[in-house]
Every structure is written in C-alpha cells, then in structure tokens.
Amino acid sequence: MTDARLRATVELPADEAFARAHVLPLLAQMAAAGRRVLGAVAPDADLSADAVRNRLAAGESAFANFVTDALAARCRAAGYLVDCAMVDATSINAGLRPGAGLTLGDWFNVMPFPDTVCLLRLTGPELAALLADNARRIERPGEPHTNRGFLHFSAGVRYTIRLGVSRAAAVAEAITVDGQSLAADGGRAYLIATTSFVRGPAAAWEELVAAQFPDPPVNLAALPRDPTSFSVRDLLLDHIAANGGVLPAGGARRDGRLQVLP
C-alpha cells in the first residue's frame, strides 16, 4: 500500500445500481419492521411528546416510571438482583401517542441509542449524596430546558425534593429504599442498574455550575461498575411484549415515589 485517504460520502459519485440492489431493499425491510404493532399506549399525558419535551426532568413521570421499573424487573429476571434501576432524562428521546397503538418504529424513536446495562454499587451514604445531587438537577419552574442529567428511579426508591430558594439550596429528604429509611441502612450496599451512557450529555452543564454548589456534582463514571451485554432497548421491548404495551400494569403510572415541594 502506497497511499490511503478518506473521502466524505457526499463527494462520491451516485451508484444507482448499488442503491437499487442493496440500499432500497434494506430500507424497505426496516420500514416493514417499524410498522409491527407491539401493543397499546396508555391514555396518559405523561407519555406524550409534549411531556417528554417539557416536563420529563421536572418531577415524577409515568413514562420514566415505566422505563425504570421495566429495567429493574428485566435485570432481576436475568439473574441480577438489583435493588433498583435509574435512568437520566435523556434515556427517553421521544414521546408516544397516548391511547394509540405502539409500533416498533415508535419505540425506536423513544430509544434510538444502543445503550447497554451497567451495574453500579453504592453505599448508603453514596446513594444519599447522589439523591442530594439529583435534587439540584431538577428542572425548576420558569427555567429554560437544558440537559442537567436529572435521574429517575424505579419504585423501590422514594424521596422528596425540597426546591428551596435556589438550585444550590435544593435538598433530598425522607429517602427510603424498599420501605426502609436510607439513614438507618446499617452500612448496606446497593446494586443499581443503569445505562452505559447515564448522564453523559450533562457534562457541559456540570462543568458550568460545579463552583456554585456546596458539593461537587457526583461523578457516576468514577463509581465501581460492572458492564453487561444486555441492550437497554431490547430489555424494554421484552417488558413491552410481556405487558401488552406501555400500560399501567407494566409501570406506566405515577405512584408518588417522588414528591416535589417548594
């Protein structure tokens, strides 16, 4: 080899014969697969595109509850005895049509990324610090939308966020895990299922605000973790199949796990 170079695909001459023989059949297969009906979508406004765009990081969400409860349930079914699951708001990329049918294409719009499941191990104090950090990331009334890495948790974790007078003053209170107070956990360790890219897009915001808070933002990448080969999207598709869609029986409902107070 004496020479090598890269060329942008837009600069390559069109090959219509290749497109007809290879590209168009593949697109047709993908379109047909995308129309496959998976089930139904609950008539809940939390599942809508408007809610995903405007309210997903502002408090409890039926959509986020479905995703986190599904992730926890599927990990346990695969033999990982997780205490809970958590995802950040970017894990839900699009909304659904409440009360309509759900297709595979709809769900690929919700989760277009190939994230895999990672298992994090946290002590009680580390989990308390993570929830305190999360309280400072919630979307506050009147503020513009931006990616702050706000986390949603599965049903085992219940707590209250008190907003306070400013973002730096926000706190997490009344934290329980499986009905037990986190403050009295006796040094227990927690196994948490999450996504391989959790909080990745929030790095720029963290760097901007780090000096404003009483504690530095929690660095999830620095915590002990065990990667798995499980696709987050595939696990959610299994859960959807088992429950007939995105429905309350599968977790698509609010249950008061997160309270937000002034």
Q: What is the pTM assigned to this prediction? A: 0.88
180-181, strands of its sheet edge to edge: 180-181, 171-177, 157-162, 258-261
Instruction: Please choose, from the candidates 78, 106, 89, the residue with its C-alpha nearest in 3D space to the C-alpha of residue 55.
Output: 89
If one counts every other C-beta atom within 10 angstroms of the C-beta of residue 94, the result is: 14
What residues pair up with 259 in beta bridges, in sequence order?
160
Reduced 3-state DSSP string for the chain: CCCCCCCCHHHCCCCHHHHHHHHHHHHHHHHHHHCCEEEEECCCHHHEHHHHHHCCCCCCCHHHHHHHHHHHHHHHHCCCCCCEEEEEHHHCCCCECCCCEEEHHHHHHHCCCCCEEEEEEEEHHHHHHHHHHHHCCCCCCCCCCCCCCCEEECCCEEEEEECCCCHHHCEEEEEEECCEEHHHCCCCEEEEEEECCCCHHHHHHHHHHHHHCCCCCCCHHHCCEEEEEEEHHHHHHHHHHHHCEECHHHCCCCCCCEEEEC
**Single-letter amino acid code for the residue at 136:** R
Cβ distance 9 to 67 under 8 Å? Answer: no
CATH 3.30.70.1060 fits 36-261, yes or no: no
CA atoms within 13 A on the CB side of 59: 16
- Measured in residues, the chain has a length of 262
List the domain boundaries for the chain. Answer: 36-261
> What's the token pair of residue 143?
């503020």
Residue 24 CB contacts under 8 Å (≥ 6 apart), including other chains = none
Residue 243 in tokens: 């429950």
| The amino acid at 186 | G
Q: Which long-range contacts (CB under 8 A, 24 or more apart) does 25-33 make?
A: 33/104, 33/105
Per-residue pLDDT of the chain (262 residues; tens, 9 = 90+): 788 888 888 888 888 888 888 888 888 888 877 789 999 999 999 999 999 999 999 999 999 999 999 999 999 999 999 999 999 999 999 999 999 999 999 999 999 999 999 999 999 999 999 999 999 999 999 888 889 999 999 999 999 999 999 999 999 999 999 999 998 876 788 999 999 999 988 988 888 887 888 888 888 888 888 999 999 999 999 999 999 999 999 999 999 999 999 9
